[in-house]
């Protein structure tokens, strides 16, 4: 029933326009902030980290036809994913990310292959939404404690969780259609 309500809410949100949509989206953002296990300071720090990493990635030499990068930050841990044919480029990027204020560690999960195209990027977005929906639907999982990122059908899970919650999150993601592999980068609380 919850997943049906969630799907209905998502449909309604995608159909709203103008100020009403902003009001509903704003209310949704407040709800997400209130249920996020991170403090508001940590949420802001993670947002700043992501913005700073994105600024790096938007400039040459990192922005090119030969490389594609995505990032996410959770509790100061940065997960860097993507594709690049140039190992030295990625090697030069990692220290710059580590130097950003509030970054505690960087997980480099860049694959040394040709960058994926828009078709795969769209599939990845869909896989992420399916994983998140499955996590929200599971009453035994605190889904807000897990950040989900999909890149080239690989699902990355990041967060601070108990071993039991981490295993459950990984199992849920593993059983979503289209997922080729689940990679966890959890910090365990127990």
pLDDT of 123 higher than 50: yes
- More confident: 5 or 28: 5
Task: Give me the domain span that covers residue 55.
Answer: 40-111
Report how many domains make up the chain: 3
Region 95-120: mean pLDDT is 96
Q: Per-residue DSSP letters for 102-171?
A: T--EEEEEEESSPPP-HHHHHHHHHHHHHHHHHHHH-TT--GGGEEEEEETTEEEEEEEE-HHHHHHHHH
- Here the CATH number for the domain that contains residue 79 is 3.30.1340.30
pLDDT level of residue 20 (50, 70, 90 thresholds): very low
Question: pTM for the complete prediction?
Answer: 0.77
Same domain, 124 and 99: no
Q: pLDDT digit string (tens) for 47-101?
A: 999 999 999 999 999 998 899 999 999 999 999 999 999 999 999 999 999 999 9
Same domain, 125 and 104: no
Same domain, 66 and 94: yes
Q: Over the chain, what is the mean pLDDT?
A: 85
């Amino acid at each position: 029933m919850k997943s049906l309500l969630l799907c209905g809410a998502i449909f309604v949100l995608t159909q709203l326009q103008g100020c009403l949509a902003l009001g509903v989206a704003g209310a949704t953002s407040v709800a997400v902030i209130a249920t996020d296990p991170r403090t508001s300071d940590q949420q802001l720090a993670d947002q700043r980290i992501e913005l700073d990493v994105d600024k790096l990635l938007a400039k040459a030499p990192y922005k090119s036809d030969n490389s594609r990068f995505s990032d996410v930050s959770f509790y100061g841990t940065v997960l860097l994913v993507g594709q690049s044919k140039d190992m030295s480029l990625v090697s030069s990027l990692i220290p710059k990310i580590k130097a950003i204020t509030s970054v505690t560690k960087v997980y480099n999960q860049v694959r040394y292959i040709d960058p994926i195209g828009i078709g795969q990027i769209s599939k990845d977005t869909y896989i992420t939404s399916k994983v998140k929906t499955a996590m929200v639907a599971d009453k035994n999982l605190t889904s807000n404690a897990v950040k989900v990122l999909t890149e080239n059908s690989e699902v990355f899970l990041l967060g601070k969780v108990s071993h039991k919650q981490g295993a459950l999150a990984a199992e849920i993601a593993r059983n979503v259609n289209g997922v080729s592999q689940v990679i966890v980068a959890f910090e365990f609380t127990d």
